[in-house]
Amino acid sequence: MQYLRLLVQWKVIGLRAVLCAGMAAAVPMPAAADERASSTAEVKVLDLSLVDQHGLARKLQTDVIGDRLVVVNFIYASCKTSCPMASAVFGQVQERLGSRLGQEVVLVSLSIDPVTDRPARLLATAEQFHAKPGWTWLTGEKAAVDRVLHGLGLYLSNIADHPTMVMIGDGKTGEWIRLLGFPTPDGIMAHLERIQAARGPAKDRIAVSTAGMSHKQEGAE
C-alpha cells in the first residue's frame, strides 16, 4: 500500500513538472475512444463580442472562426486537473498543424470562468503552453460567455463539474461534432481531415501524420 501511494505521488509530480514546463505531453488515450465518444452536434454559434488573451475584442464567428475549421475546448485558469491536460493536447495539435494553424484551422480555448479569467490571466496560461497565433483564448462578460456556451450546448451549474470535451466545427458549412473525454492529438487531426475532405477536392490537405511535413500556404487571410 505504501509503495502504491509513493507511485501515485511520483506520477502526479511528474505530470505537474511536464505541464509547468509547457510541454504538450500526449494523453495516453486509445484512438478508438475518439470514435466511440464522438457525435454530431447541433450548435448555434453566437457571433458575440468576447475578449481574447491580449485584451482585444473579438467576435466569435466573424473575427475568430471565419470560414476556417475550428477546434474548441473549455477551460478555466485555476483548474488543476483536466484543463491542463486538455491544453497539453491542444499544444500537440498546434505542432501537427504547423503553418496551417491560423490559416485553415484555428484553436479556441474558451473560459468557463470569465469573471476570474481576465485577459492577463489567460495570457499567462497561454504562454505556459506556448500558444502560437491561431490558438485564441477567449473570455469576456459573463452574460456573453454564458450565451456562447449555451449555444455550443454547454450548461454549467458548477464550473468544477464541467464535462471534459472538445468540439470541432466547420465555419464554412456549419458542421459540428462533439468529442467527449480526452481525444488524442491524432484523433483530433483525423476528424479535421474528414471534415476538410467533406468540403470537396482541395489542393492541400491537413496532415494526419505526426511527422513534420512542409506545406505551401495559399489564400492566407
Closest by CA position to 171, among listed 69, 73, 72: 69
pLDDT at 37: 55
* Mean pLDDT calculated for residue range 12-30: 41
pLDDT at 81: 85
Closest by CA position to 24, among listed 111, 85, 78, 69: 85
Question: Is the dihedral angle over the CA atoms 68, 72, 78, 82 positive or is it negative?
Answer: negative
Cell of 191: 476528424
- Domains annotated for the chain, with CATH where assigned, are 24-198 (3.40.30.10)
Q: Coil, helix or strand for 99?
A: helix
| pLDDT higher at 1 or 71 | 71
49-52 and 38-40: which strand pairing? unpaired
Residue 172 to residue 120: CA distance in whole angstroms: 31
Residue-wise pLDDT for 162-219, tens only, equals: 778 899 999 999 999 999 888 999 999 999 999 999 987 654 445 443 333 333 333 3
pLDDT(3) > 50: no
DSSP state letters, 42-89: -------EEEETTS-EEEIIIIIITTSEEEEEEE-TT--SHHHHHHHH
Residue-wise pLDDT for 86-120, tens only, equals: 999 999 999 999 999 999 999 999 999 999 999 99
Q: Contact, 172 vs 199, CB < 8 A?
A: yes
Residue 64 to residue 186: CA distance in whole angstroms: 23
Closest by CA position to 173, among listed 67, 96, 77: 67
Q: Coil, helix or strand for 220?
A: coil
Residue-wise pLDDT for 127-177, tens only, equals: 999 999 999 999 999 999 999 999 998 888 788 777 788 999 999 999 999
